Amino acid sequence: MDNILKIGKYELGSRLIVGSGKYKDFQTTKEATLASGSELITVAVRRLNITNPDQENLRDTFAGTNVKFLPNSAGCVTAEEAITTFRLTREATGIDLIKLEVIGDTQKTLYPDVIETIKACEILSKEGFTIMAYTSDDPIMAKRLEDAGAHAIMPLAAPIGSGLGIQNPYNIVFIREAVSVPVIVDAGIGCASDAAYAMELGAAGVLTNTAIAQAQNPMFMAEAMKHAVIAGRMSYLSGRIPKRPYATASSPIDGMIQF
């Protein structure tokens, strides 16, 4: 099985991406991330702490591991804010693999403003960033983001942190069919079976944060997510049997004893 996830010029040995928020401390973040097997953790730029070396820093916590950072533009509500955020981040850290998110509704749904996201994507792609774009589950917008230079499309499964799981599986499939870049299901994952389902739909990967960070046992859930993503990928590649309305006998009837 090909476990390599290719995003632009980057290659990852795990198809699970994790978040860094909502943990009780940085040490728990590290332990859960390592248990998940993920090689990429998304982090709000402010948590990278690129301005004050005297404060606790996630980069120090993960020093010596194979985990890469994926800065995100959480909190940005315009294309201009996101563009400035990533320019400063790259200048300070050298990181050019980014998760672009521009939020349209900051109060209730945290749904993305896809129009502003496309604007930012067009500019950042021209500046050499490798862009993973958080978006709605609209296949038309997904294609426009790819055309704008996105290297991966990240449709939400449900509102961020809701744990509702995949609410519109057909749109995930439609997006996968509409674009040629990897589709990473993002936001709304609640448990390991949600992650497996996303992979069975043909997603190239899954990003989850709250489901692990706020589980009663984050380490167990992180490991469950690891296996779920692998199992879902294997199931998708195996090719499921068609659904039928009636039973089909598993054993042949030829040669049965006649009474």
For the chain, the domains span 14-49+65-237
What band does 46 get if pLDDT is binned at 50, 70 and 90?
low
Q: For residues 22 and 3, what is the distance between their CA atoms, to the nearest angstrom? A: 28
What band does 35 get if pLDDT is binned at 50, 70 and 90?
very high
Of 201, 152, 140, nearest in space to 172 by CA: 201
pLDDT score of 50: 57
User: How big, in percent rounded to 5, are the helix, strand and coil portions of the chain?
Assistant: 40, 15, 45
**Quick one: tokens of 160?**
């961020």
CA 73 to chain centre: 14
pLDDT score of 255: 67
Of 105, 181, 177, 195, nearest in space to 148 by CA: 181
**Quick one: tokens of 2?**
């090909």
pLDDT score of 200: 97
pLDDT in tens, 241-255: 998 898 887 776 666
Say if residues 98 and 75 touch (Cβ distance below 8 Å). no
DSSP SS3 for 67: coil
Q: For residues 182 and 202, what is the distance between their CA atoms, to the nearest angstrom? A: 10
Longest dimension (CA), the chain: 86
User: Which overall architecture, per CATH, does domain 14-49+65-237 show?
Assistant: Alpha-Beta Barrel (3.20)
Q: For residues 118 and 237, what is the distance between their CA atoms, to the nearest angstrom? A: 32
Instruction: Mean pLDDT check: name the lowest of 40-44, 46-50, 240-244.
Output: 46-50
pLDDT score of 29: 95
Of 213, 212, 143, nearest in space to 174 by CA: 143
Q: Please, what is the end-to-end C-alpha distance for the chain in angstroms?
A: 49
Of 14, 31, 13, nearest in space to 213 by CA: 31
Strands 40-44 and 68-72 turn out to be parallel
* Residue 6: active-site member: no
pLDDT in tens, 156-208: 999 988 999 999 999 999 999 999 999 999 999 999 999 999 999 999 999 99
pLDDT in tens, 199-241: 999 999 999 999 999 999 999 999 999 999 999 999 999 998 9
Percent of the chain with pLDDT over 90: 78
| Catalytic-labelled residue, pool 99, 108, 143, 226 | 99
